[in-house]
Amino acid sequence: MVTIGILALQGAIREHARSLEDSGANVKIVKRIEDLKDIDGLVVPGGESTTMRRLIDKYEMFKPLQDFAKTGKPVFGTCAGLILMAKEIIGQEHGHLEVMDMKVHRNGFGRQRESFEVPLSVKGLEGEEDYIGVFIRAPYIDSVGPDVEVLATFQDRIVAARQGRFLCCAFHPELTDDHRMHAYFVEMVEESKKTFA
């Protein structure tokens, strides 16, 4: 069984933990640098990206998180986590962790009152039913590099993508009872762990 860490500085930690456990993973809460040891993958949850970056800096986790991403272990960013993973952010001089070759638009779908749910067709999650995306002050991906695979779009905007061992989505998969997005990531982590064995 794989162990997946959840960066627990902000966001819906408990809901992510439940979805990962229901998908067959052990969960470890990551609040300090040493918590990054002995995990096979990492979830960077939603929240507010500038606040999360401030907390990452406060706890001196920026370089350890970048180093973790370079180890080859999978990372899954949701909503603000997607923003933190992007190489470029529209309106900002620099990205944050810069692990995915994409340009993102913060609050691209509007502010809190423009939150909504919508059925999505997500590549890799094909089934009888669409996946319900919960969008809360959501970003979207403006453009991607050649190595990034687009997994889902809404209104011609990219809302989920994968680049090798990195996965991201603009919506909140932890806020539904449909665990397919987390199960997809658990499979990525299981595949990755085989290469480390």
- What is the band of 110 on the pLDDT scale with cuts at 50, 70, 90? low
Report angle CA 91, 95, 101 to the nearest 5 degrees: 105
132/129 Cα distance (integer angstroms): 9
For the chain, which domains are there? 3-196 (3.40.50.880)
Q: Quote the pLDDT of residue 39.
A: 97
Confidence of residue 115 (pLDDT cuts 50, 70, 90): confident
Residue pLDDT, tens place only, 53-79: 999 999 999 999 999 999 989 999 999
Give the pLDDT mean for 149-170: 97
pTM of the model: 0.95
pLDDT greater than 70 at residue 113:
no
* Per-residue pLDDT, 112: 54
**Residue positions annotated with a catalytic role:** 79, 172, 174
The percent of residues above 90 in pLDDT, for the chain, comes to 78
DSSP assignment of 89-135: ETT-SS-SS--EEEEEETTTT-SGGG-EEEEE--TT--SSS-EEEEE
pLDDT: is 11 or 86 the higher one? Answer: 86
Q: What are phi and psi of 57, to 5 degrees?
A: -65, -40
- In which residue are the tokens 């089934």 written? 127
